[in-house]
Amino acid sequence: MAAERNILITGGAGFIGSHVVRLFVKKYPNYRIINLDKLTYAGNLANLTDIENEKNYKFIKGDIVDSEFISKLFIDESIDAVIHLAAESHVDRSISNPIEFVMTNVVGTANLLNAARHQWKTPSEKNMFYHVSTDEVYGTLGETGFFTEETSYDPHSPYSASKAGSDHLVRAYHDTFKLPVVISNCSNNYGSFQFPEKLIPLSIHNIKNNKPIPIYGKGENIRDWLFVEDHATAIDVIFHKAKTGVTYNIGGHNEWKNIDLIHLLCSIMDRKLNRESGSCAKLITYVKDRAGHDMRYAIDSSKLQRELGWKPSLQFEEGLEKTVDWYLANDTWLNNVTSGEYLHFYDQQYVRR
């Protein structure tokens, strides 16, 4: 039986992408899911072992920056829709290597848009280009207020500027070529399979190994945390229900000062590792601040909740505990991704500066 829809998911071997691939492969047996990923340091097929043999799933290794390869892929696989997550995603790496972010996030997105435009000459209901973006495009907030879909773009890091550039291109292809598109801008995600360069898994890994927990600046920056599986369900709802050309913010109304979050994490880890209360917190170490460090992110996701009926499923304390349990139970995964390139990154980022 022919598939109802051939859906290209880019970056499906990464953190959020692997959760989106898993959800779509399991929930929609009549869709054919094609996971395209370059397998950079952040991409890992071990994130998908539970679904890799499913009949409606196919993995293709490739680079979105290679325009000829992308155009051919759209034709060969008869791509009907795209959920685009492939990106360079870590702010600190964008400070040390900005051009790679421009290539993947801007040029790579342009290549996908262009291939979709040529493939879907007269777009049908099957066609949709879903661009997964970030709240960082909106810049930073003071003590009050929230990012809404109408907030002006004001990115500060090469990462957020490259994501803002890709959002603008997506809207330009909609307005100029009538490409059916949808964009979502989400807040900080946490959960299983996140590469331990990001705050929560890095801290779990360091606590486990009795290494310092590096806190940038005074630890007063605020992030709005969402469980990754809730992001995946939001993407599912938006992909299926949103009107073309629309943007949705995704977030869980869950703001935490970095230092408060780390204290909560330390108390969970004390308990899980049977350590004396207060001992993990002794690892907290204040380090030089991130350049251009945004102070506060907070998402207003009421449009998504009101129009499409999505809401987050988990309280943060519960989600964080589940996340700690996952990392402690998945030693092999964590040890594999924290060898090789990771040691070089860690040394450059934290030891030698």
**What is the closest distance, in whole angstroms, from the C-beta atom of residue 22 to ligand DAU in the complex?**
19
- The 10 Å Cβ neighbour count of residue 124 is 8
Is 221 near ligand DAU (CB under 6 A)?
Answer: yes
Question: Is 159 known to be catalytic?
Answer: yes
Task: Name which position in 35, 40, 192, 233 contacts ligand NAD (CB under 6 A).
Answer: 40
Question: Is 230 known to be catalytic?
Answer: no
Residue 258 binds which entry of ligand NAD, ligand DAU, none, CB below 5-8 Å type-dependent: ligand DAU
Question: Is 135 known to be catalytic?
Answer: yes
From residue 121 to residue 140, what is the string marking binding to ligand NAD with x (rule CB under 6 A)? -----------x-x------
Site for ligand NAD in 74-93 (CB under 6 A): 85-89
Residue 80 binds which entry of ligand NAD, ligand DAU, none, CB below 5-8 Å type-dependent: none
Alpha-carbon distance 200 to 327, whole Å?
A: 10
Helices (H), ranges, 219-350: 228-241, 258-272, 302-308, 316-329, 331-337, 341-346
Kindly provide the residue ranges of all beta strands, DSSP E only, lying in 95-180, ordered along the sequence: 128-134
Residue in 31, 57, 138, 159 annotated catalytic: 159
**What is the closest distance, in whole angstroms, from the C-beta atom of residue 291 to ligand NAD in the complex?**
19
Alpha-carbon distance 97 to 104, whole Å?
A: 12
Judged by DSSP in three states, 82 sits in: strand
Q: How many residues bind ligand DAU (CB under 6 A)?
A: 19
Q: Are 34 and 79 in contact (CB under 8 A)?
A: yes
- The 10 Å Cβ neighbour count of residue 103 is 15
Binding site for ligand NAD (CB under 6 A): 10-11, 13-17, 37-40, 42-43, 63-65, 85-89, 104, 108, 132, 134, 163, 186, 188-189, 195
Active site residues: 135-136, 159
